[in-house]
Each structure stands twice: as C-alpha cells, then as structure tokens.
C-alpha cells in the first residue's frame, strides 16, 4: 500500500468527520495500528478539526453562569421538593447547549468542496511544474546552441587569421593550386616558409573526401613526386602543417586511400601548381 497516497486520498478527513463507511473505518483502524505515519495524520486531522470548532464557537451568555451555580448550590434542597416555575425556567436555561449549531455546510458538502479545491490545486501545480520544466529545457537548448555557435565562430576566426597571417608574411611563399582538366573549379593553397621550407596546406573549395579516402599532397622534386602527407578534413584547423621539402618545383594533390599512398594515382589528381 502506498501510504502517502492513502493519506492524501481524504479517507482520514472523512474518518475524523464521521463520514467514512464501516468498511473504511475498519481498514483505517487496522492500518493506523501498524503505521505511525497514518496515526500521526489522524491526530493532526483531529487537531485541525478541533481548532476549527474552537474558532467558530460562540460564548454562552454571561447570566447563564450565575444560573448554573445557583442550580448546583440548591440541588440538595430541591431533590424532594416539586419544581417551581422559576426553577423549571432555570432548568431550561441550564439545558441550553453551550455551542448552538451553526448554519454551516453539511459535512458531505464541506468534504466535497475540499476535494474539489485540492484537485484544482493539484492540476494547477502539475501544469505550472510542466511549464517550468518545458521552459527550462528550451532555455538549455538555446544556451547549448549559442555555445556551439560561439565555438564554431571562434574556430572560423582562428582559421581565417592563420591564413591571413601566413599570406601577409613576407618570409612565406604562397603557391595557388588550381584544378586540372577533370576538376576545373577546384582550388587549394600551399604556403612554404623560405628559411625552413616548412609546407602548410589549405583546401579552398575541394569536396569532402569519401570516408575511406584522403587528399594527399605531393611535391615535384627533380621531376619525381615526393609525398608531403595526407590532409585531415575532420580536423578543426583548415591550415594544416605538412612535411618539409627542399628544391620543390611544383605541388599537386591526389585522392588516395585513407592513410596515403607511396605513389600518386594520377587519374585521381585534383589540383596542381608550379612555384
């Protein structure tokens, strides 16, 4: 049995107000003997009902107190004497209930109103929590999107700055590689430092290589192709450091198997440029 759900069902309030059925009373009394949480809930409900009764109670008339004490003091003498009219009136006054019934709603109507109000509050609470949860998720998604966008912008700026710095460095030679006959619109850029002969490569508008292939850079030295390494298109850096080469006369890029090839596949050449 889910004790919290049982307590929240309203059975305890019905029990305290005398509205529960005999079967419900038997079950509740059995449960409260073995469950201190239910027993405490019953005590709290009784206390709440008593507090409500005390707040709504009407004080008896002041003169009633004198009449009661007079009745008590003369009780012994009057046991064998017939009651007079005055005594009968005093008896009637003493029998007036201290807490006359009030024009309140019947217990059933009060409990029904309580249940309806509780249901409305529960629905409102669930709806509000759902709204907060949805709003929070939307905010988190927007924040994640902004963070991703900022990272992408930072990477793009760094790549652009690297290319700008390299192109404007007087000690660096820029060699454009243009598309061959099969790929006339393709283009790449090679940057080579004059002192160290260190080579850097960027692919300007070349398509993404198939998953099992990579673009490979070649330097033509004394009429022979020399591999300068493969280009990693999955890396964040667009300008990638390749190998060092001496006395290169030209550069070319071919599409090879992933990891590179010892010799270029000439039919898969995309771009080429002379120094």
Read off the pTM.
Answer: 0.46
Percent of the chain predicted with pLDDT > 90: 34
pLDDT of residue 112: 56
Q: Domain holding 186: CATH number? A: 2.60.40
Percent of the chain predicted with pLDDT > 70: 68
pLDDT band at 26 (very low <50, low <70, confident <90, very high): confident
Average pLDDT over residues 220-224: 94
Residue 254 domain flag: yes
**DSSP, residue by residue, 122-184:** HHHHHHHHHHHHHHHHHHHHHHHHHHHHHHHHHHHHHHHHHHHHHHT-TTEEEEEEEE-TT-T
| Bridge partners of residue 269, in order along the sequence | 254
pLDDT band at 102 (very low <50, low <70, confident <90, very high): very low
Residue 99 has pLDDT above 50, yes or no: no
Q: Are residues 45 and 2 in the same domain?
A: yes
| CA end-to-end span of the chain | 85
Domain with 83 in it: 67-98
Q: Are residues 24 and 93 in the same domain?
A: no
Tokens of 104: 């309140």
Residue 209 has pLDDT above 50, yes or no: yes
Residue 15 domain flag: yes
pLDDT of residue 121: 64
Q: Mark residue 146 as left, alpha or beta (left: phi above 0; alpha: psi -120 to 50; beta: remaining).
A: alpha
Query: How many Å apart are CA 245 and CA 229, to the nearest integer?
Result: 11
pLDDT of residue 83: 54
pLDDT band at 100 (very low <50, low <70, confident <90, very high): very low
Average pLDDT over residues 20-30: 81
Q: Are residues 52 and 71 in the same domain?
A: no
CB 59 within 8 A of CB 98: no
Residue listed under structure tokens 């929070």: 136
Closest CA to 246 of 184, 196, 180: 196
Q: Are residues 16 and 87 in the same domain?
A: no
Cα angle 240, 245, 251 (rounded to 5 degrees) comes to 70
CB 224 within 8 A of CB 263: no
Residue 233 domain flag: yes
Q: Are residues 182 and 270 in the same domain?
A: yes
Average pLDDT over residues 133-145: 72
Average pLDDT of the chain to the nearest whole number? 77
Q: Are residues 20 and 94 in the same domain?
A: no
**DSSP, residue by residue, 68-118:** HHHHHHTTTTTSSSPP-HHHHHHHHHHTS-SSPPP----HHHHHHHHHHHH
Q: Are residues 15 and 77 in the same domain?
A: no
Q: Say which residues have a Cβ less than 8 Å from residue 155's Cβ, sequence separation at least 6.
A: 236
Give the pLDDT confidence of 167-206 residue by residue, as tens digits: 788 899 999 999 999 999 999 999 999 899 999 999 988 9
Residue 109 has pLDDT above 70, yes or no: no
Residue listed under structure tokens 């460095």: 169
Residue 179 domain flag: yes
Tokens of 39: 């027993």
Query: How many Å apart are CA 158 and CA 162, to the nearest integer?
Result: 6
Burial pattern 246-265, b for ≥16 Cβ within 10 A else e, equals eebebbbbbbbeeebbeebe
Q: Are residues 230 and 258 in the same domain?
A: yes
Position with higher pLDDT, 233 vs 164: 233
Position with higher pLDDT, 50 vs 147: 147
Query: How many Å apart are CA 111 and CA 14, to the nearest integer?
Result: 7
Number of domains within the chain: 3
């Amino acid at each position: 049995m889910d004790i919290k759900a049982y307590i929240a069902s309203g059975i305890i309030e019905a029990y305290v107000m005398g509205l529960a059925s005999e079967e419900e009373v038997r079950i509740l009394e059995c449960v409260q003997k073995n469950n201190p949480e239910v027993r405490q809930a019953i005590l709290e409900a009784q206390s709440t009902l008593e507090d409500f009764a005390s707040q709504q109670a009407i004080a008896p008339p002041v003169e009633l107190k004198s009449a009661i004490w007079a009745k008590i003091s003369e009780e012994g003498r009057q046991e064998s004497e017939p009651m007079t009219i005055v005594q009968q009136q005093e008896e009637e006054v003493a029998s007036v209930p201290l807490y006359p019934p009030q024009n309140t709603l019947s217990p059933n109507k009060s409990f029904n109103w309580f249940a309806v109000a509780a249901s409305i509050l529960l629905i409102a609470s669930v709806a509000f929590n759902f709204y907060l949860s949805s709003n929070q998720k939307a905010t988190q998604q927007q924040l994640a999107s902004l963070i991703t966008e900022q990272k992408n912008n930072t990477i793009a700026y760094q790549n652009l700055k690297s290319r700008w710095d390299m192109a404007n460095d007087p000690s660096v030679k820029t060699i454009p590689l243009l598309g061959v006959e099969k790929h006339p619109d393709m283009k790449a850029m090679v940057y080579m430092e004059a002192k160290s002969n260190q080579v850097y490569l960027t692919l300007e508008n070349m398509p993404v290589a198939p998953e099992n292939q990579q673009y490979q850079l070649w330097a033509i030295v004394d009429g022979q192709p020399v591999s300068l390494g493969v280009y990693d298109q999955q890396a964040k850096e667009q300008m990638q450091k390749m190998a060092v080469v001496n006395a290169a006369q030209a550069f070319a890029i071919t599409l090879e198997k992933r990891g590179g090839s010892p010799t270029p596949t000439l039919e898969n050449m995309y771009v080429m440029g002379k120094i």
